Amino acid sequence: MRRIAVIPAALALLASTVPGASASSSTSTPVAQAIVAACHPSDNTSERFATFVGQMQAVKGTLRMAMHFSLLERLEVPSFQAVALSELRPWRRSKKGVSSFIYSQRVTALRDGGSYRMRVQFRWYGADGKIIKTKTARSGVCHQPAPLPNLQLTSITAKPGLTPGTTAYTIAVENDGTGDAGAVDVALRVDGGTALTGQVPTIAAGESGTVNITAPACKGYVRAAVDPRGKIQEADETDNVLVTACPA
């Protein structure tokens, strides 16, 4: 798994310089805010990125402004947690006398199923170098997809069972998704009778497995269903059933 990173080349410093500025933000522009400028989800980790932007306006008495970015990540835990990234440690400072200050951070290699937002701390400094105002804002969320399995029944074969009137059925299941699947249940009905079940412990992405179920001998048709109770989240839930004539 690649480490989450910030691309230095994607950083942008945009400041409107007004000599001796002591301007206040307009009523229509927030004095400071954090936004998601770009969110690019992808099944390929190397192609994922999110760009977060902090922007702030000078208030009365401002000589210089500064921002500090902290990436927040949510995976399995219910709340967002800060991610330690050395590239985000420094405070980003504006030039003296600017009326507005905008800074962007582009984050790459985001993890499977992760949700990301940026916490930005803002500071305004006066002519004496002391802080005259502070604010903290959080951006919106950029969500990345988790790899999902996709289970399909590919075949049902049969041979005589050990008990008269029964048949031993072998049901093949393929996972052509991008995520692994565990505890894969398979249900079999013969001629519309009672469902009998078996289980494959795990089927990795791109792999297949089989389950053996002994059931009554077939007279007309068999129907098999993988994950019949819908316990496994899949990329496609519409291809989980296979109905065929009695297997030879």
pTM of this prediction?
Answer: 0.64
Interval 104-161: pLDDT, tens: 999 998 998 899 999 999 999 999 999 999 999 999 999 998 888 999 999 999 999 9
Containing domain of residue 241, as a range? 151-245
**Position of tokens 């008269």?**
164
Number of structural domains the chain divides into: 2
Amino acid 197 reads: T
Interval 34-91: pLDDT, tens: 999 999 998 788 899 999 999 999 999 999 999 999 999 998 778 999 999 999 999 9
102 plus 48 within the same structural domain: yes
pLDDT of residue 240: 95
pLDDT of residue 20: 35
> For the chain, what is the radius of gyration of the CA atoms?
29
126 plus 170 within the same structural domain: no
pLDDT of residue 7: 53
Domain limit, last residue, from 143, 177, 203: 143
- State the CB neighbour count (10 A cutoff) for residue 237: 12
CATH of the domain at 114: 2.60.40
Q: What angle do CA 89, 34, 45 make, to 5 degrees?
A: 70
CATH of the domain at 158: 2.60.40.10
- State the CB neighbour count (10 A cutoff) for residue 50: 25
Interval 7-17: pLDDT, tens: 543 333 444 43
